[in-house]
Chains A and B, each alone.
Chain A
Amino acid sequence: MIQLESITKVYSGSVKAVDNVNLEVRPGEIFGFLGPNGAGKTTTIKMVVGLLHPTSGKVKIFGEEMNTENVSLKKRIGYVADEPVVMEKLTGAEYIRFICDVFEVPFSERVKKTEQLLRSFKLESAIRDPVSTYSHGMRQKLSLISALVHDPDLWILDEPIVGLDPKSAFILKQMMRRHADAGNTVFFSTHIMEIAERVCDRLGIIGDGEIKFVGTVDELRELRGEGSLEELFLEVTASEDEESDFSYLGAR
């Protein structure tokens, strides 16, 4: 489904955000992309969806090289960006209709899908108002709805759970499960180990732009011995708890 062949991204200046990453995401799985802030998750995802060109290496989706000119390829992807980038001045309904138009979703289907998604994420009452009146979580939901309304095979979600309330997060996780079980693929990033543990079939851990681990949660456990996953996560990402003394915050 997704193949990353030694992709590297060096931003202008000298920031090597992604360093020789090889990764394969298979059909029918939920793949969690895990790493702390600034690890290179968003950069990798942006290269996958074509927003950034890799400095070197190749991105392949459905066996084809990713290319923003390939409209039919882009049509099969539902992408939710890390900060919901929906056009602020439109109303939610206008935005969804626009998405349906460019993805050429048939009329009968777009009505049904939109209604269902709106109900699931409880966004019905806000949909006629401009996005600029939405809270962060509501924007996140709108972004999700518009990524799913056209029924893409591949979901690429950059930190999708972050702004969601627990109920919506739960619904989303279930949707991801069902989508993968139907033979499709979900590729999502998170910096929260617990989420990865709950929903992923396999996970990849990235730190400082390099892949530190790829495999199942069980394999990760085995590899790193006993202990909670949170600890393992801290281990693979090489952050130690040397700074765990925060008494200075209250001190006067």
Chain B
Amino acid sequence: MKMKKVISLISVLVDSHFGISTKKYTYFKKKQRLWEPAVIGGGVVAVVVSLSPLYYLLMKNMFDQYVQMGLENLFITTSVLLTGFLGFFFGIFFMTNALFFSKDMRTLVPLPLSPSEVITGKMFIVFLDQMFISLALLLPPLIYFGVRMELGIHYWIYAAVVFLLSQVIPVTFIGLILLPLSRYIKINRYRDFLVFFISAIILVGVLVFVGFMGGVEGNGLTPEEISQVLADPDALISRISLLYPPGLIAVRALTSGASTGFLWTVLFVFMNFGAFALLIFLGKKLYYHTYSELQESFASRKQFKEGELATFLSKHETPLKALIRREWRYFLRVPSFAVNGLSSVIILPALLLIMTGASGSDQVQQILTILEGASGFVVPAGVLVAVLAGSLSTLASSVFSREGKLFRELKALPISVKQVVMAKIMQITTVSLIGPAATVIALFVLFRISLFEGIAIILTSMVCITFLNFIQFLIDVSRPVLDWDNPHKAMKQNLNVAFSLPVIFGFVVGAGYLGYRLSDLLSPLAMTLVLLVTGILGTLLLWRTILSRTSALLIRDL
């Protein structure tokens, strides 16, 4: 490897990955759409400012508690382990992105770069992507710890090292699992789905493993038990420190004073370089050399038989129906969209159901009896759960972003704005409907609600969901992310989706809180009606805006 080349490669990949030059160009040179960085920057600042006092209090409380127990080092341990741990989770996602969904290999392979250089460049991007975890969960505690303990300069140096290298081990670990798999994933017809499937299995596997190490007694593992494990860092750490030795080394480096700490830090650095070397080696052997097959797509090249084409083409539809079909096709045939959209609408009801499955355990039974007392409120409460479940599809907040470059096709088609909006809303609504439907099923199993209650929940929640979907639609239509090169950027990494989450949670939590405060004044029926009316009014109110904003977007030069 030649350092100069690697640095040049990395700087270009970083620029391209984060779109730095393009952003500079639109905002500084062209001075176009300057409100975008303003809104985004403002949003980020608002979130940081509003959360940091909370974060500070949380750190202070934890630290004080640990100090009382004489376990102040556990403060650092928690943060180091949590960072490494979340690194695993996000690592799967960033790594699959880099390996299977990015197209940069096409440019890089013919260039005079060695396989190690190419893999180093790609992995470096994964590290950078992951560093936000360390930035949020490791850096503040490291600083807080240093300040509170009044540690010397040596601590700050070791802390910087630990911080900078904190994501190496998680990424390597994910690489150990995913890279060997790239051999088997390569020519599969359902490659993209396979990637998701395998990621899901790994996630579940890690969870089960952690739960197991966390000492949860044998028979099966429910999410609720897992959350217990996560909520109790002590039990977690004592177990995980066994399975995550790098974390312990980091902790030793930070807490053993200047000279012993130095030795631990050196060990930590060596360990990370070793891990990195292993990662590069595997990437080179297992990924780089199968890359060629990864770009092949499946084609059968069978011609239509006599008459088949005629039959195929003669099933004609109205333009609107054809558009709806187009929506479904693009949604279902991009695994990233289909998997994200569909899984997020059933996750909440599924959790509810799993809880029922675990209702043998005392705690769940307790919760159920408490709820039984308030069973009159099952409809309005169910509506809120259903609203949350259905709105989480994030399809509306990525409605135009998901089009990507295909947006130009949409612009060129001879269709009206209304048809475009209708087709999109109908497809989104259908996917959203899965949320309430699944919620009602879960509620039926849990509380034996009646058919009438079920229908009321579905109807009311669908109206509210449509309202929330309209708001999300408006967010995305104002600032769609169209020039993505991999579909994750349209959904999971889309700021519009992030911005819409506070809206959804705000609505549900706000309504829930109001309902709770007003439970003496308002009957469950009245609450349901209020929700229904809010949804209807909101939807009607936003409809025109949606049309006008969409038409503005379709006219805009893109």
Report the stretch among B103-111, B226-234, B508-516, B541-549 that lies at the interface: B103-111
Contact A74 B110 (CB under 8 A): yes
Residue A12 lies at the interface, judged by CB distance under 8 Å to chain B: yes
A12 touching B293 in the complex, CB below 8 Å, given contacts A49-B110, A89-B19, A89-B22: yes
- Min Cβ gap B448→A in Å is 51
Report the stretch among B258-266, B295-303, B319-327, B530-538 that lies at the interface: B295-303
Q: Which of B3-41 contact A (CB under 8 A)?
A: 4-5, 8-9, 12, 15-17, 19-22, 25, 29
Contact A68 B109 (CB under 8 A): yes
Contact A72 B189 (CB under 8 A): no
Contact B21 A52 (CB under 8 A): no
- Min Cβ gap A188→B in Å is 15
Report the stretch among A20-28, A93-101, A169-177, A193-201 that lies at the interface: A93-101
Contact with B along A11-23 (1 / 0, CB 8 A): 1111100000000
Complex: chain A residue closest to B114, CB-CB: A71
A69 touching B115 in the complex, CB below 8 Å, given contacts A87-B107, A98-B8, A102-B8: yes
Residue A235 lies at the interface, judged by CB distance under 8 Å to chain B: no
Residue B187 lies at the interface, judged by CB distance under 8 Å to chain A: yes
- Min Cβ gap B160→A in Å is 29
Contact B485 A102 (CB under 8 A): no
Contact A13 B299 (CB under 8 A): yes
- Min Cβ gap B291→A in Å is 8
Q: Which of B55-110 contact A (CB under 8 A)?
A: 103-104, 106-107, 109-110
Contact B106 A13 (CB under 8 A): no
Contact A132 B15 (CB under 8 A): no
A133→B30 CA distance, assembly (Å):
12
- Min Cβ gap B483→A in Å is 6
Contact A13 B12 (CB under 8 A): no
Which of the listed residues A87, A90, A129, A133 has the most CB atoms from chain B within 10 Å of its own CB? A87
Residue A103 lies at the interface, judged by CB distance under 8 Å to chain B: yes
Residue A79 lies at the interface, judged by CB distance under 8 Å to chain B: yes
A14→B301 CA distance, assembly (Å):
8
Contact B301 A89 (CB under 8 A): no
Contact A51 B12 (CB under 8 A): no
Residue B292 lies at the interface, judged by CB distance under 8 Å to chain A: yes
The number of residues on chain A lying at the interface, defined by a beta carbon within 8 Å of a beta carbon of chain B, is 39
Residues of A within 8 A of B20 (CB): 89
Residue B282 lies at the interface, judged by CB distance under 8 Å to chain A: no
- Min Cβ gap B286→A in Å is 14
Contact A50 B109 (CB under 8 A): yes
Contact with A along B276-300 (1 / 0, CB 8 A): 0000000000001000110111111
Residue A53 lies at the interface, judged by CB distance under 8 Å to chain B: yes
Residues of A within 8 A of B29 (CB): 129
Contact A15 B292 (CB under 8 A): no
A15 touching B104 in the complex, CB below 8 Å, given contacts A74-B111, A89-B21, A94-B15: no
Complex: chain A residue closest to B105, CB-CB: A51
Residue A115 lies at the interface, judged by CB distance under 8 Å to chain B: no
Residues of B within 8 A of A95 (CB): 12
Residues of A within 8 A of B106 (CB): 51, 81, 85
A251→B20 CA distance, assembly (Å):
52
Residues of B within 8 A of A12 (CB): 187, 189, 293, 296-298
Residue A91 lies at the interface, judged by CB distance under 8 Å to chain B: yes
Contact A129 B25 (CB under 8 A): yes
A53→B106 CA distance, assembly (Å):
13
- Min Cβ gap A23→B in Å is 19
A132→B558 CA distance, assembly (Å):
11
- Min Cβ gap B405→A in Å is 11
Contact B115 A68 (CB under 8 A): yes
Pick the contact of A130 from B25, B288, B297 — CB < 8 Å? B25
- Min Cβ gap B296→A in Å is 5
Contact B110 A87 (CB under 8 A): no
- Min Cβ gap B362→A in Å is 54
Q: Which of B385-440 contact A (CB under 8 A)?
A: none
Contact with A along B293-318 (1 / 0, CB 8 A): 10111111100000000000000000
Residue B220 lies at the interface, judged by CB distance under 8 Å to chain A: no
Residue A113 lies at the interface, judged by CB distance under 8 Å to chain B: no
- Min Cβ gap B485→A in Å is 7
A50→B288 CA distance, assembly (Å):
11
- Min Cβ gap B172→A in Å is 22
- Min Cβ gap A81→B in Å is 7
Contact B15 A88 (CB under 8 A): no
Residues of B within 8 A of A130 (CB): 21-22, 25
8 closest cross-chain pairs (CB), A and B: A101-B8, A12-B187, A75-B112, A74-B112, A87-B16, A130-B22, A98-B12, A89-B16
List 15 A-B residue pairs with CB atoms under 8 Å apart, sorted by A's residue number: A12-B189, A12-B296, A14-B300, A51-B109, A52-B292, A53-B293, A75-B112, A90-B12, A90-B15, A97-B8, A98-B12, A101-B5, A102-B5, A104-B5, A129-B29
A sample of 19 more A-B contacts (CB under 8 A), given A89-B22, A98-B8, is A11-B299, A12-B189, A13-B189, A13-B300, A15-B301, A49-B110, A51-B109, A68-B288, A74-B110, A75-B112, A85-B107, A89-B21, A90-B16, A91-B21, A94-B15, A99-B111, A101-B8, A129-B25, A133-B25
